[in-house]
Structure 1
Amino acid sequence: MRRVTVADGVELEVLDFGGRGPALVFLAGLGNTGHVFDELAPRLTSQRHVWALTRRGFGASSWPEQGYDTATLGADVIHALDGLGIERATLAGHSIAGGELTWVGLHFPQRVEKLIYLDAAYAHAEVDDLLKDLPSPPVPEPAPEDQASRAAVSAAVAREVGGRFPEEEIEQAHVFDATTGRLLGERRWPGALRRIREGRASLDFSSLRVPVLSLYVAYEGTRREEAFTGLELMSPAEQEKVRAVFPRLSQLLLAPQEAIRKLPGSKVVGLEGAEHYLWLTHPEQVVREMTDFLGP
């Protein structure tokens, strides 16, 4: 672990997993740190020198009050590469990190070898705009027993995402009481989630000019739309309002995959039965697809 300066007063946590060959840099999803890749990253070190970044506002990285828009977060990635002496890298990002991947690919293609989206190729800004005036699901309160200890938090997360997080991810993404071990909260700047959502940019996947691998969850029926809207937590009346936009929502969710399919040297793979943290539910398939795509 080390830190790299990306802006005045802003440092990012960097994890160096070692390895040989060109750089492969992982970017975590919203709320996670680079440690979420602690078990996936070492499996790729025979092909690449593997790194992971924790974005500003989370974990051990700096917590500034500004700089959570897509462009600044993307620029943080470029500055991190500069600080590490990496001229060109393959970037692999999960979930919300797809915005940073696409922004870097569009604005700094000379710094990118390839892009790998881990259930991350989504038109988030357009989806947010479609859903902004619709009901939002209530935020469920965690059960007290799920906050009693590190082990309890780890088990609760595993039930929610379909696989157990690395131990250090649980440690770095949460704050625990030093005496009782009970969960006190998330380890992040309080405004980070809201600022990132507000700062999402509209990005044109079809304008990418680097090879792309997109691995995504292949949902059945309307499960994808239901997952994005939190439909199951809403009242019947609210569900009716939300379901009315499902045809347009489906188009928005699938459009980036269709755009990527048309890019030279690119590949799109839907993983049936997977969950959002693809490498936890389908580790062998994810490693195989990434290994093949990275090449020798």
Structure 2
Amino acid sequence: MVTVDTGVQLEVLDWGGRGRPVLLLAGSGNTAHVFDDFAPRLTGLGRVLAVTRRGFGASSTPAAGYDVERLGEDVYQVLVSLDLPRAVLIGHSIAGQELSWLAVRHADRVGGLVYIDAGYRYALYRPGILENVQDLRTRLEALEAEIAKPPRPPAELSAAIQAVMGDALEEVQRDLEDLRTTPPFPGAPPAPAAADLRSVQAYQAWTRKTMGFAIPEAELRWQRDVRDDGGVGAQRAPSAAARAMGSAGAQRFTSIDVPALAIFASPHGLGPWAEQPGVDRTRVDDFLRFDTRMTERQARWFERRVPSARVVRIPKASHYAFLSHAEDVVREIGAFLRMLP
């Protein structure tokens, strides 16, 4: 337990290993134990640790401090308290915002960043439709003034139009297409049968068969009630911290100036359940096409705005790519770490 603020301690797990510190940050709703099966795969690359953010698991649950500024400062305090110089930070999902905050505020403590399906708008801001429409309006006014100038050769006019407009029109068209074609989620996996709930191991076997991966036991025990007889009970209520994080607002990170690897699950995999007979394949395919278009839009934005970053796609990986496609993720992280000074 590491003290990071007055009356606030965070749970930190340490799997050992030698060399460069590697610190894992979980997504919202998870604790550091979500990495129990994954982290040991990295110990050949450095000393591997993970932190449970405030409000979750065994960490303290204060009433406040769930904005990215404070959450990022919590991670910084862990780095300082444990003397972890130039650590590689690996974040899943919403932890991408903490990675980007640390890259901006404490770049000297960061040796590299790895975003595991975490490089979305909360980690690298891409303008939304309102901003894109406003930008387009401004550019159209400038375009009107440009066209009103004395006649000039077509090639010169074409270059002037491109300089004024950029890709503003295309961005708004993409926004409108996304909003007009958003499909419903194509259903849900079947509920586990009584036999699937008789033990933690049976439940994990069911999730592997249904979702394509299993949550480690210690993490599962934070997510669901486990009865005295070992059976798996109901899902626990979501932590109030998750709601607090959602309402705290996000910062707009527009650049990342430390070495970075961004892993996107693209196209995302819904899991084996979506391939079973009786599932509406049309709805599944429509959703996956839309999801891939949205994911790729952000992945390409990451490539354009952070040209020094390595951006990788893992096809049909779950959002929990480090569980569903652990070997692929470990391989990419290993290659990235070997490139670092």
- Normalising by the smaller structure, the TM-score range is 0.7 to 0.9
Paired with 1:141 and 1:124, the residues of 2 have a C-alpha distance of 31
Q: Distance in 1 between matches of 2:69 and 2:252?
A: 11
Give the secondary-structure state (helix, strand or coil) at the position aligned to 1:207. coil
Kept in 2, the 8 Å contact 1:69–1:199? The answer is yes
Q: CA deviation at 1:176?
A: 2.4
Q: 1:291 to 1:72 in 2, by over 3 A?
A: same
| TM-score, scaled to structure 1 | 0.77
Spell out, residue by residue over 1:77-129, the C-alpha distance to the aligned partner (whole angstroms, 9 max, x if none).
Answer: 101112212232110011111111111111111111100000110114979x8
Report the equivalent of 2:213.
163
* Distance in 2 separating the partners of 1:293 and 1:197: 31
1:55 aligns with 2:56: no
Moved more, 40-49 or 140-149: 140-149
Q: Is 2:244 the partner of 1:195?
A: yes
Distance 2:58 2:334 in 1: 29
Q: Aligned residue for 1:228?
A: none
2:267 to 203, 219, 222: 219
Partner Cα separation in structure 2 for residue 139 and residue 189 of structure 1: 19
Give 1:278 shift: 1.0
For residues 10 and 248 of structure 2, what CA distance do their matches in structure 1 show? 19
User: How far does the alpha carbon of each residue in 1:154-187 deviate from its partner, in whole angstroms, 9 at most, with x for none?
Assistant: 345445642112222223443323356442543x
Alignment of 1:67-146 (within 5 A): 67-124=65-122, 145=194
> Does structure 2 retain, via aligned residues, the 8 Å contact 1:123–1:202?
no
* Change in 2 beyond 3 A, CA 1:148/1:69: farther
- Aligned equivalents of 1:152, 1:287: Cα separation in 2: 27
> Quick one: which amino acid aligns to residue 84 of structure 1?
L
Which of the numbers 263, 280, 283 marks the counterpart of 2:323?
A: 280
Q: Which runs of 5+ in 2 are unaligned?
A: 130-177, 271-278
| Structure 1 residue 273, shift from structure 2 partner | 1.7
Match of 1:175 among 202, 225, 228: 225
Question: Which whole-Å CA distance do the structure 2 matches of 1:58 and 1:160 have between them?
Answer: 26
Matched to 1:22, the amino acid is R
Determine helix, strand or coil for the equivalent of 2:2: strand
One-letter amino acid of the structure 2 residue matched with residue 35 of structure 1: H
Cα distance in structure 1, aligned partners of 2:234 and 2:294:
40
User: 2: CA distance between counterparts of 1:44 and 1:140?
Assistant: 31
The 3 A distance-change label for structure 1 pair 213 and 26 is same
Matches of 2:230 and 2:216, distance apart in 1: 22
With the length of structure 2 as denominator, give the TM-score of the two structures.
0.68
Contact kept in structure 2, 1:106 and 1:208, CA below 8 Å: yes
Give, in whole Å, the separation in 1 of the partners of 2:14 and 2:94. Answer: 22
Q: Which amino acid aligns with 1:190?
A: S
2:146 aligned residue: none
Q: Deviations over 1:4-45 (max 9, x none)?
A: 111111111111011111111000112111111122212221
Structure 1 unaligned regions, length at least 5: 224-231, 237-242
Q: How far did 1:279 drift?
A: 2.0
- More off after superposition, 253-262 vs 22-31: 253-262
Instruction: Measure how far apart 1:67 and its partner are.
Output: 1.4
CA contact (8 A) 1:26 1:53 kept: yes
| AA of the residue aligned to 1:217 | A
CA distance in structure 2 between the aligned counterparts of 1:112 and 1:174, rounded to whole angstroms: 35
- Distance in 2 between the 1:159 and 1:195 partners? 33
Contact 2:29-2:239 at 8 Å conserved across structures: no
Indicate the larger mover: 269-278 or 166-175: 166-175
Cα distance in structure 2, aligned partners of 1:266 and 1:167: 34
Residue 7 to residue 108, structure 1, CA distance change in 2 (3 Å): same
Distance 1:147 1:96 in 2: 29
Q: Which structure has the highest strand share of the two?
A: 1
Q: Which residue of 2 aligns with 1:12?
A: 10
Structure 1 match to 2:204: 154
CA RMSD of aligned residues (A): 3.6
The answer for the alignment partner of 1:259 in structure 2 is 302
**Residue identity (%):** 39
| CA 1:123–1:263: 2 relative to 1, 3 Å | closer
